[in-house]
Amino acid sequence: MFVDIPKDGYHFNKDGIKKIEEHYTAKYMGYWCTKNPRDGWNEQPVDVFYVANPDTSKGHTNYFGMFTDERGVMITNAESAFSEPITGLLCSDGEVIVSRYRHDYVVKEDVMIDGGRDYTRMTRGNNRVVIVTVDQDQFVFNASVS
C-alpha cells in the first residue's frame, strides 16, 4: 500500500520542493492541513516536510510546513498534520487515496473520498477503508474495522 505524494506541492512546484528538501535536509511528505489554535483543521494545506534531527533547542519538531501568502514564503510547525489518524480508501493498484483538506474531492477508479480531516464522505459500501498514520517519514497502513 502507498499514499501518492504529488510531485508538485500545494504551494511549491517540484523544483521548489527539491530546493527546500536540500536546504533543510528534509523529506517532502505531501501537502496536508495542520490544526488551528481552536483545535480544528485549517482550511488550506501546507507543504509538509520531515526532518530526522530537528534543532529542538529552538523549539523545532520533526515536521515543518511551508506555504505562501501575502507576506511571502512562510514556515510553520506542522507536527499536528500527523497528530491524528487519516482515513483512506484502498484502490486496486495498492494506492490509498486520502482527502488532504476540506473540499479535497478525490476520485480514482470507482472510489471517492472527500472532506479532508474535517469530515469523511466516501463511496457507499466501500469495504476498503484504511487508517493511515505516520511514523517518522513513513506512512503506516491498518485496515479499518467496519
Q: What is the pLDDT of residues 55-104, one digit of tens each?
A: 999 999 999 999 999 999 999 999 999 999 999 999 999 999 999 999 99
SS3 sequence of 24-90 = HCCEEEEEECCECCCCCECCCCEEEEECCCCCHHHCCCCEEEEEEECCEEEEEECHHHHCCCEEEEE
Are residues 90 and 128 in contact, defined by beta-carbon separation less than 8 angstroms?
Answer: yes
Q: pLDDT tens digit string along 23-59?
A: 999 999 999 999 999 989 999 999 999 999 999 999 9
pTM above 0.75, yes or no: yes
For the record, the C-alpha cell of 49 comes out as 516536510
Q: For residue 140, which of 99, 82, 78, 100 has the smallest C-alpha distance?
A: 82
